[in-house]
Structure 1
Amino acid sequence: MEADDETIVKIPGLTVLTITGTGFVATDGNVNVYIKDIPFTVTEGQKVTIVGEKLTSDMKVPYIEGGKMTDEGTGSVTQKQPLDVTESLDKVKADNYQLVTLTGTYDAIMKCVGIRGMANSAYIYDYKDVDALEELGGHKLTVTGYYAGTANPVVRIIPSEIIDHGYNETVYFFDDFEWMDPWTSLIGVHDWVEESDKVAAE
């Protein structure tokens, strides 16, 4: 998208691929576009012309905000196979809003999917059914969606589908908790643990 930020643009011939929490992802058959904060409704498979403001996200990825929609009926799109980034999350090589997929353990507090051995996590962004995710903490999920940029340690994904594989009984912790040292030294946690061990031994 070549236009400057805060420029009103018109994009014809878009077919809606996925509904998100605040908008949708669509394609003209060559590239995918993310439209958010829309004052109208669309359905998957609908063909539209969009007029809106071009902006750039904090991930340095362009998107369209608000605007107007003209209904052009329905369209059909053959989606490419998603790029599996499970093993390459730290160095994702994908186009903006390219369809990707990954499998990992969901952290409901951080709203991220973590993968063992990866420094980066996949942040679930603008999901249409965000309330359902609250119950999936600790579950193994396969997330398929649109790549919306990287700012280490976060890779932003706009989901089109989330498959729940159930609770992951093997939960990996990647934090050595060094950040807690100032507090543990102040409140004497180490001494308390040692004393507790002595009592338990008796």
Structure 2
Amino acid sequence: MGTALGALGFLTATTTPASASASASASASAAGDAANANPALRKPILVGANPGLQLFDSSGACTAYLSTWHVEWSTHGSGNALVLWRPDGVRAVGQDPNLTLWLAEHFVRHFPELDGLPWTTPRFQRSTVQVRLDLASGLRAQGGGIDVRMAEVLDRRAFATDQFPLAGVDHSLSLVLGPCGRAEAHVDGRVQPGEITRGGTPDRPSSSAFLTTAEVWRA
């Protein structure tokens, strides 16, 4: 923080520690407000891929949401992770707890798929996560007793928005989306109950099982 502020000219030889702290807080707040108001000022916080799979029972209730992460770079490091939401709790699987829990708490808990569903403190499980993603054929992700598979890619199209709210703060998001026609998940050796939902039109199909790649979040 001190280096960045020094580069901006906020710290001088006559600045006291208290005034430096106040200047830092005011500067960070102003920068955040400016970036939120003007998306062009937002900086990348994550680059990678985040396929998602949501399953529903016959009544339409969500039985599981699986968020697969392949992070090439982020403000919290890089690596693969799996975040599993079920009615009985949240499991976050990865090698790095700092990265994995940030993905769960900063992103997944605020995704629209989980609107209105209870969120509990994620249970971190240290495990290698392997992710094989192909826009031509689908996804296979494994780690910590979770095995996610998606296939039959129905479409590939670009998506971008500057108004993706996370905890009430707009983020910018761009990616390539690939809705899938088939998907399943195994959790601790058992098939996770539920089915995907499909919709849209022949020209723009949608699915609750989807690939993403070339994904960039800015804030």
Higher RCO (CA-CA < 8 Å; seq separation 6+): 2
Larger radius of gyration: 1
**Smaller-chain TM-score bracket:** under 0.3
- What's the TM-score once normalised by structure 2's chain length? 0.25
- What's the TM-score once normalised by structure 1's chain length? 0.27
